[in-house]
Each structure stands twice: as C-alpha cells, then as structure tokens.
Structure 1
Amino acid sequence: MRDNVVRDVAYFLFITLLIGAVVYAVTTFFVFRPLDRMKLAFADMGEGRLAVSLDDAHAAREISRLIERFNSTAAELHTMYDHLEEQVESRTDELRKANAALERQRDTLERLNVELAKETQFKSDLLSMVNHELRTPLTSIITFAQISREACPPDRASERHSWEEIEKNSQILLAMINDMLDIARSDAGSIRTACEPMDLGDIVSSVRGTMTPLAQKYDVAFCTRVASDVPLVNGDFEKTQRMLENLASNAIKFTPDGGTVELRVDVGEGGVRLRMIDDGIGIAPEDHERIFERFFQVDSTSTRKYNGSGLGLALVREYAAVQGFSVSVESELGQGSTFTITIPSDAIVG
C-alpha cells in the first residue's frame, strides 16, 4: 500500500506539473506574447510612429478583439496625423504667401508714407508762402484803411464807413488766414509752444485792446475782470492770447446787439480759470463737443453777423492741449454760453 500511495502521489505530481507547464505555455503563447507586442506597439506610438499594426494570429479571442481595436485606433490616428500634416503644410504655405503679401504692402506703405511726408511738407511750405504773401498785402490794406478812415473829414460819413468796412473785412480775412496756417502746422506736427511765466493780467489787457473795437462795431459790451489773487502761470503767451481772442470774437459774433461779453480770470478748483461769458444765442447740449471740430458751424442761418471758417474753437482746443490746459463749455439755447480754459495747478509758478 505504501508503494501504491507513493506511486499515486508521484503520478499526480507529474500530472500537475505537466498541466501547469501546458497552461503556462499556452498562456505565454496566446496571451503574454500578444500583450508584449501591444506594449511595444504602444511604445512606438508614444515616440510618434503611428504606422503600426499587430497580427492577431495565435492570440486568444479577447486578446484578438483588443488587437483589432488597437489596430483600428492606430489606423485612425495615422490618418488624422497625415491629414493634420497636410493641413499644417497648407497653412504654412498660406502663411508664407500672406507674409509675402504683407511685405509687399509694407513696402508700398513705406513708399506712400515717404510720398505723403513730401506732400505734407510741400503743403506746409506752400501754405507758409501763401500766408506770407497774403498777410503782407492785407496788412498794408488794413494800415491804409485805418489811415484813410482817420483822414476822412467829419462831413464824409459814407466814405468813412466804407473804409471801416474794408478794415473790418480785412481783419476777418487775416484772422482766417492765420487760423488755416495754424491748422496746417498742427497737421504737420510743427506747432511749437513756449513754456515761460505768464502774467494773465497782461494777456487780458491785450485781448481787451484787440476785442473792444470789434465789440463796439457790433454794439456789444466787452468787459474783463481779473481777480487779485491770480498767480503767474507757465505757458505760451501768444497762444494763450490767441485762445482768448478766438473765444471773445466767437462770443461777440453770436451775441445780439446790446448784449454783453465778459472775460473773467480767477483761481478755482483745479487751478486758474479763464472764463468767457456771454448772453448770446447759446448752444444746444448735443453740439457741445461738435463745436470743437474743424469747420463745424452751429449757426449757418442769416442771423449770423459774419461768416467764419469754423476753425476758431478747434484751434482753442488744440492750443490748450499742447500746453496741458483743458477747455469746457456750459451753454443752453437762448441762455448764453460760458467757455472755460482751466490751467492746472502744476502750471502755477512757484
């Protein structure tokens, strides 16, 4: 019995080992080897080699299905990658063409900019020449008209009035020429400003001397008031005076006979304020910004006292901007207008 038991145990051990070896061999051949091939294929895909395909022969059914899905996915990825490369190549070619077109356009723009700069300089030179050639005879006409008006005897009122009209219209024409020249300089970027201490009282006196005769001709009272505590400020004397003259002439133009225009200078919130106040026809709220546009005219009816170029307020804003000042307006139709130039506190001397 003992020999039979030993023989049976040995037989079963042999059978067990044999079955284990067979199972191991079958599993290795049909499962582990296909999985190893898939592992290598995944590694190839990770390195960018998408043209991989596995043979599902000698693989278990589940492994075979997995290999089929892997092959299908790899094929789709390969197709997508090829299509993407074609798109990238196409886009690269389009980008190359676009860059070439941009280069040609840039060259064209540079050439046009050079031509435009030449034309702008030519226009600036032409305007300067025309301005000089026109101002010289206009100044002579104004001077001759003044002399002739003063030389007229009292009994020749009509002749005196004619010389006054010649003088007045010559002054208007001269102001328009100066405005157009300044606009041309602004477009050419050649406006230069000084920064020096200014006595606003002196500027107001000059404006009063210039504007009073114009106000008298149109039966408008023009007065000025400068507060005693107004300090010296840094700025451009000539351009500040031009700003106030433009505001004053504009106010006189749109103020009815018997009206009043007042220039006030005082120290307020934010700095020194120069206010031009009139009791004229006023400005609608929707036009408060538009009046500072070039050649814009609010009133084009026959009620205007004389035609203008529409550049006065545009120059006021440009002169203010180059000096660091600000310009604002408060007005309603029929209620007069108040234009305010604010000189900031940091421009106060001392």
Structure 2
Amino acid sequence: WTLDSVGGAISIVIPLDQQQQAVRDNVVRDVVYFLLITLLIGAVVYAVTTIFVFRPLNRMKLAFAEMGEGQLVVSLDDTNAAKEVSRLIERFNSTAAELHTIYGHLEEQVESRTDDLRKANTALERQRDTLEHLNTELAKETQFKSDLLSMVNHELRTPLTSIITFAQISREACPPDRESERHSWEEIEKNSQILLAMINDMLDIARSDAGSIRTACEPMDLGDIVCAVKGTMTPLAQKYSVAFCTQVSSDVPLVNGDFEKTQRMLENLASNAIKFTPDGGTVELSINVDESDGSVRMRMADDGIGIAPEDQERIFERFFQVDSTSTRKYNGSGLGLALVREYAAVQGFSVSVESELGRGSIFVISIPSGLIVG
C-alpha cells in the first residue's frame, strides 16, 4: 500500500426529510410549551392583580362617587388588598372620617348661623319698620318746616320791599346839604337789599327741598344777562374798591335756559368774588365758546383770597362757610353757591371751580352744546 492508495469505499446516506421533520416538531413543541407557560403566568398575574389591586381600586372609585353624592359615611375593607393599596385605603378611610366630622360640625355651624341670621333679619325688619315710621314723621316735619319757611319768607318780602322803596325815595329826596341823612338812608337800603337777597335764597332753598323749583327753557342772550349783572354788581364793586369788568365774545350764540336763574347764578358768583377780593383787586366775568366741544363757558375770575383744595367741593354745600371771620366781616348765609349748583343742575348746566389760596378763584359755568339755539 502506498500513500494515496484506494483500498475501498464507504457510502453513508442520511435521510434529510426525517431530520427536518424532527426539527420542526421540536420547534412547534417548544413554542407551544412556552405559549402555555406564558398564558399560565399571565393568568396568574391577572388574577393576582385583579384580586389585590383592581378590585380594591374599583371599590375606592365607587366610594369616591358616593362621597361626591354627599354620602360621607364611607368605610372600605382592605382585606385582600396589596400593601400599597391597603395603605391608600387606610388613608381614604381616615380622610372620609375627618370629612364626616368636619361636615357634621359645619352643619351645626350653618344651623347656628342661620338661626342668628333669622334673628338678625327679624331685628332688621323691626328697625326698618321703625325707620319707615320715623322717615314718614320726618318728611311731615320737613314739609311743615318748608311750608312755614316759605310762608315766613313770603310775608317778609312784602315789608322789606316797602322799606327798600321808601328808603330809595327818602334818599333821593334828601337835599345835598344833608349828607349824613342821605348816608343813613343808603345804609337802610343796602342792608334791606342784603336781607331781601338772603330771604330770596332761603325761599329758593325751601322750594328746592319741596321739589317745586320750576325753570323756563327759552332762548336767552347771554350778553343781556351780563349787562344786567354788571348793572347790579358795579355799585357793590365800587363799595369794596374792586374793579368789575365783563367781556362777551362776538361768537357767543343764543342758548336755551332760564334768564332769571342764570342771572341769579352770575350775581351770586360775582357777589362772592367781589366780597372776598381785597381792595384794588379785579373781578372779571367773561363768556366765550369752547372750541373743543362747542360748549359755552361763563367764567367768573378774581384775584381774591382763594379757596383751599379740601374746601373746593364743600363750598357748594348749604350753609357752609370757608372762614367764619370772613363771614362775619362780609355777611352771608352760605346759600349762594349752593343755589348756583342747584340752578345749574335744573337747567342742565355744570359748575366747576379752580382756586389757590392767596391767588384767587375761577368759577366756570358750562352750557353744553345741546342747549345752543339753532
């Protein structure tokens, strides 16, 4: 025998189909086995989770629903619950018990407060009835006082008018060489005029309280009103050595309003301005049209003692006096500015003031464009 000699041959035949079938059978058997194991494990996990987790949580869900409906007496059993879920159930039971206790106290407090409110309402109703009775009596007394004041004022105006008339006649009849007698009649006439003006103011206040102020609404020329005011106020300005000047713009139109009350408004403003302006001062009444909104503005400006900021709203209150010393010096009832605001309100006007102590004051009456004629 030499190297690479052939002494014979062996043939081995392996059936591949059988081997492949065995492999397939093994794979199928293993897959089925693992599927069964997986299903079994999943079933066990599902059963355990359902018993120890899902069911307790579902009971909590139902318990929360009951609490939402107002049933606070809820207690859950933590049997067959997982450890963490059991702790959660215990917390839930504790919270429900606390809420029940709080709600019980709250109901008691609500009942107590309701009873208190019921008693308070009863007391308020009694007080309301008492106040209504007092208001009725007060209204009667107020009406009586207003009627009495109106009657007294009406009765006083007649003799005062006679006194003023006779004083004027006597003053004019005095010969030139009897200056002291003329001066006496002038004082009588002047003080009678002051008293008559105060009576007129009080009468108008009484009418205002009674709701019987009537105003006319007719076209009026503000230039005519200014001329009338100037004729009335010039003697007063000369007495106090104050320059009183007027100025009416040429483009001021006719406006609807009450001639007499508008004149009274300007006379009251001018009288205050003159009386509270020192000797040598100036009071100016000007009327012009505000180009911004088309309103007509009646402006009374002076360089008098001025008004403190905290008093600029109160000066329109009845009987309010900024300074009692000035009041005693210049006389006055404290009704002039109150009437100015009331006369302005009933006519649809507005009144404003700008002032600084020691620098003078500016009163402005604004007539809206809707009251302009034409």
Once residues 248 and 289 of structure 1 are traced to their aligned partners in structure 2, the CA distance between those partners, rounded to angstroms, is: 18
CA apart distance, 1:299: 5.0
- Counterpart for residue 155 of structure 1: 177
5 Å matches for 1:1-350?
35=56, 45=67, 47-53=69-75, 62=83, 71-257=93-279, 259-269=281-291, 270=293, 271-279=295-303, 281-284=304-307, 286=309, 287-301=311-325, 306-332=330-356, 335-350=359-374
Other structure's SS at 1:294 match: coil
Once residues 275 and 59 of structure 2 are traced to their aligned partners in structure 1, the CA distance between those partners, rounded to angstroms, is: 97
- Counterpart for residue 16 of structure 1: none
Q: 1:302/1:242 Cα in 2 relative to 1: closer, same or farther (>3 Å)? A: closer
Other structure's SS at 2:318 match: coil
CA apart distance, 1:312: 1.6
Give TM-score, length-normalised by structure 1: 0.77
Once residues 56 and 273 of structure 1 are traced to their aligned partners in structure 2, the CA distance between those partners, rounded to angstroms, is: 86
Other structure's SS at 1:273 match: strand
Q: 1:341/1:80 Cα in 2 relative to 1: closer, same or farther (>3 Å)? A: closer
Deviating more after overlay: 113-122 vs 240-249:
113-122
Other structure's SS at 1:230 match: coil
CA apart distance, 1:178: 1.6
CA apart distance, 1:170: 0.7
Once residues 337 and 173 of structure 1 are traced to their aligned partners in structure 2, the CA distance between those partners, rounded to angstroms, is: 26
State the Cα deviation string for residues 131-150 of structure 1 (Å, max 9, x = none). Answer: 11211211111111111112
Q: 1:90/1:192 Cα in 2 relative to 1: closer, same or farther (>3 Å)? A: same
Other structure's SS at 1:109 match: helix
Unaligned runs of 5+ in 2: 1-43
Q: Is the 8 A contact 2:349 2:366 kept in 1?
A: yes
Give TM-score, length-normalised by structure 2: 0.73
Once residues 262 and 271 of structure 2 are traced to their aligned partners in structure 1, the CA distance between those partners, rounded to angstroms, is: 14
CA apart distance, 1:285: 5.1
Q: 1:304/1:54 Cα in 2 relative to 1: closer, same or farther (>3 Å)? A: closer
Once residues 41 and 343 of structure 1 are traced to their aligned partners in structure 2, the CA distance between those partners, rounded to angstroms, is: 73
CA apart distance, 1:152: 1.7
Deviating more after overlay: 224-233 vs 163-172:
224-233
Q: 1:226/1:67 Cα in 2 relative to 1: closer, same or farther (>3 Å)? A: closer
Once residues 176 and 337 of structure 2 are traced to their aligned partners in structure 1, the CA distance between those partners, rounded to angstroms, is: 39
State the Cα deviation string for residues 236-267 of structure 1 (Å, max 9, x = none). Answer: 21110101111222222234445544432232
Other structure's SS at 1:87 match: helix
State the Cα deviation string for residues 204-253 of structure 1 (Å, max 9, x = none). Answer: 22222322333344444444333332210011211101011112222222
* Counterpart amino acid of residue 167 in structure 1: E
Aligned identity (percent) is 84
State the Cα deviation string for residues 83-116 of structure 1 (Å, max 9, x = none). Answer: 2222222222222222222222222222222222
Once residues 329 and 96 of structure 2 are traced to their aligned partners in structure 1, the CA distance between those partners, rounded to angstroms, is: 88
